[in-house]
């Protein structure tokens, strides 16, 4: 195997481990913990506090410039941040493991909030490292690993651990998650940022760089694409679980279909799209991914109308999550392209946060709209938004290679 191929594989392995482990704990907190709390008799208002922790990831742009500018090490900028933040993620999980889930709920929320901050910050550093060390032709595969890592982390942390919770119990579950989170530390310790990455001047990074981002050439064109590209899939995905409940599926059936089978479909979509980017180019791949999103939304109309045939539902869910994986990979790839190496963490995180906040707001509104428009009406909106994003990409995406 050629040395450059070995080096590329090392980079992908490093980034893959980082992306998987940041979502192991987060998947457990946002998916498994609410179910565990409800089983313990907690009120819905108490459980709702857990869900708000996910919003921390949407506002991480507030401290991204600090990670770009400052570093625990003068020579290994992002690597040193990753070592520190990965260690703090592990420590917060261990602290949560020794707490009682009911009598020490407030302290538990503090631990989980800290984990959310640490994992969001680790993501800033991991994204920035990826931008500085991945060659343009590697970014498609690199971002397929990023998207797949998130799906795998959620699958294990939110699905597998919950399924084994009866035997592992609270302390055992969290300690296993903490142990799994230590695995990437081996690769981080062994990895050295190349000179071209470590020698980038970060001293002049300021908060005003976020404003300067919008003054770059084609920034307005890109913003129109960024803010609409994931809206269709965000709205449609929010409707899936309530629709399945309404047609009589049990929570176990829903969890297996969306978190386990669906995760493999999403990973497949991310990986295949990442491999096709170099052949098709950025713009064509983005249009293909959102065309798949549109087609997958169309398949959900049958579920919205009450069709309960198992094969139809599984095909719809897998198609939608396959498109979700493709969509996520392509957006991340072009966001990397639009990030300067000096302000890598700031630029990428700002784009992520803008897309995430708009998506979060629209997804939250989807269920409210479903009360009056029914599921079919909201799916029509999500399909319309997807078609709009394809049109904007065709019109404003001329500069995207």
pLDDT of residue 202: 63
Q: Using 50, 70 and 90 to split pLDDT, how confident is the model at 1?
A: very low
pLDDT > 80? residue 310: yes
Residue 195 banded pLDDT, cuts 50, 70, 90: low
Tokens of 48: 């709702």
What is the C-alpha separation between 70 and 351, in angstroms, rounded?
Answer: 21
Residue 210: per-residue pLDDT: 87
pLDDT at 196: 56
Report the share of the chain in percent with pLDDT over 90: 48
Confirm if 77 and 106 have CB atoms less than 8 A apart.
no
What's the confidence (pLDDT) of residue 385?
A: 95
CB environment 167-189: b (16+ within 10 A), e (fewer): ebebeebbbbbbebbeebbebbe
* Higher per-residue confidence, 196 vs 170: 170
Q: Helix/strand/coil (H, E, C) string of the chain?
A: CCHHHHHHHHHHHHHHHHHHHHHHHHHHHHHHHHHHHHHCCCCHHHHHHHHHHHHHHHHHHHCHHHHHHCCCCCCCHHHHHHHHHHHHHHHHHHHHHCCCCCCCHHHHHHHHHHHHHHHHHHHHHHHHHHHHHCCHHHHHHHHHHHHHHHHHHHHHHHHHHHHCHHHHHHHHHHHHHHHHHHHHHHHHHHCCCCHHHHCCCCCCCCCHHHHHHCCCCCHHHHHHHHCCCCHHHHHHHHHHHHHHHHCCCCHHHHHHHHHHHHHHHHHHHHHHHHHHHHHHCHHHHHHHHHHHHHHHHHHHHHHHCCCCCHHHHHHHHHHHHHHHHHHHHHHHHHHHHCCCCCCHHHHHHHHHHHHHHHHHHHHHHHHHHHHHHHHHHHHHHHHHHHHHHHHHHHHHCCCCC
Quote the pTM value. 0.86
pLDDT at 313 over 70: yes
Burial of residue 366, with CB atoms counted within 10 A of its CB: 0-12 exposed, 13-18 middle, 19 or more buried: buried
pLDDT on residue 135: 87
CA gap 34, 350 in Å, rounded = 29
pLDDT tens-place string over residues 257-279: 887 888 899 999 999 999 999 89
Contact at 8 Å (CB) between 208 and 346?
no
**pLDDT reading at 163 higher than 60:** yes
pLDDT of amino acid 44: 61
Assess contact for 309 and 360: CB atoms under 8 A: no
Question: How far apart, in whole angstroms, are the C-alpha atoms of residue 245 and residue 192?
Answer: 49
79-105 confidence digits (pLDDT tens): 999 999 999 999 999 999 999 888 898
pLDDT at res. 2 = 44
User: Which residues are CB-contacts of 104 (< 8 A; sequence separation ≥ 6)?
Assistant: none
Please say if the pLDDT value at position 335 is more than 90.
yes
Tokens for 392?
């904007």
Which range, of 28-42, 114-128, 157-171, averages the lowest pLDDT?
Answer: 28-42
Cβ pair 394, 287 in contact under 8 A: yes
Q: How far is CA 101 from the centre of its chain?
A: 27
Question: Can you say how many angstroms the Cα of residue 57 is from the centroid of all Cα atoms in its chain?
Answer: 9
Q: Using an 8 Å Cβ cutoff, are 67 and 125 in contact?
A: yes
Q: How far apart are CA 80 and CA 240, in angstroms?
A: 40
Q: Return mean pLDDT, the chain.
A: 88
Q: Residue 172: name the closest of 42, 18, 32, 20 by CA.
A: 32
Confidence at 251, pLDDT banded by 50, 70, 90: low
In the chain the domains, ranked by start, together with CATH numbers, are 1-205 (1.20.1250.20), 208-401 (1.20.1250.20)
Rounded CA gap, 341 and 200, in Å?
7
């Amino acid at each position: 195997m050629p040395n450059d191929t070995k080096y590329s594989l090392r980079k992908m392995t490093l980034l893959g481990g980082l992306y998987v482990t940041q979502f192991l704990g987060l998947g457990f907190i946002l998916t498994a913990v609410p179910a565990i709390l409800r089983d313990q008799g907690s009120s819905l208002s108490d459980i709702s506090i857990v869900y708000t922790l996910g919003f921390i990831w949407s506002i991480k742009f507030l401290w991204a410039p600090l990670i770009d500018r400052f570093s625990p090490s003068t020579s290994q900028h992002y690597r040193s941040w990753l070592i520190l933040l990965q260690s703090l993620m592990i420590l917060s999980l261990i602290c949560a493991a020794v707490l009682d889930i009911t009598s020490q709920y407030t302290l538990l929320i503090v631990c989980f909030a800290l984990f959310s901050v640490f994992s969001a910050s680790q993501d800033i550093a991991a994204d920035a490292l990826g931008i500085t060390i991945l060659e343009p032709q590697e970014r498609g595969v690199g971002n397929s690993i990023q998207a797949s890592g998130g799906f795998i982390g959620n699958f294990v942390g939110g699905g597998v651990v919950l399924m084994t919770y009866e035997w592992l119990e609270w302390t055992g579950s969290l300690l296993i998650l903490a142990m799994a989170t230590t695995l990437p530390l081996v690769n981080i310790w062994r990895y050295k940022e190349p000179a071209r990455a470590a020698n980038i001047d970060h001293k002049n990074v300021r908060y005003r760089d976020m404003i300067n981002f919008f003054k770059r050439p084609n920034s307005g064109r890109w913003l129109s694409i960024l803010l609409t590209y994931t809206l269709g899939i965000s709205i449609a995905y929010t409707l899936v679980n309530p629709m399945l409940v309404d047609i009589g599926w049990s929570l176990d059936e829903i969890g297996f279909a969306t978190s386990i089978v669906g995760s493999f479909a999403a990973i497949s979509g991310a990986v295949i799209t990442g491999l096709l980017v170099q052949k098709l180019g950025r713009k064509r791949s983005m249009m293909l991914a959102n065309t798949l999103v549109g087609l997958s939304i169309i398949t959900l109309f049958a579920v919205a109308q009450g069709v309960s045939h198992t094969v139809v539902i599984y095909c719809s869910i897998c198609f939608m999550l396959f498109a979700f994986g493709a969509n996520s990979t392509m957006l991340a790839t072009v966001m990397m392209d639009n990030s300067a190496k000096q302000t890598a963490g700031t630029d990428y995180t700002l784009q992520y946060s803008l897309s995430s906040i708009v998506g979060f707001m629209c997804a939250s509104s989807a269920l409210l709209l479903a009360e009056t428009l029914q599921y079919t009406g909201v799916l029509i909106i999500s399909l319309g938004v997807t078609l709009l994003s394809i049109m904007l990409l065709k019109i404003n995406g001329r500069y995207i290679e």
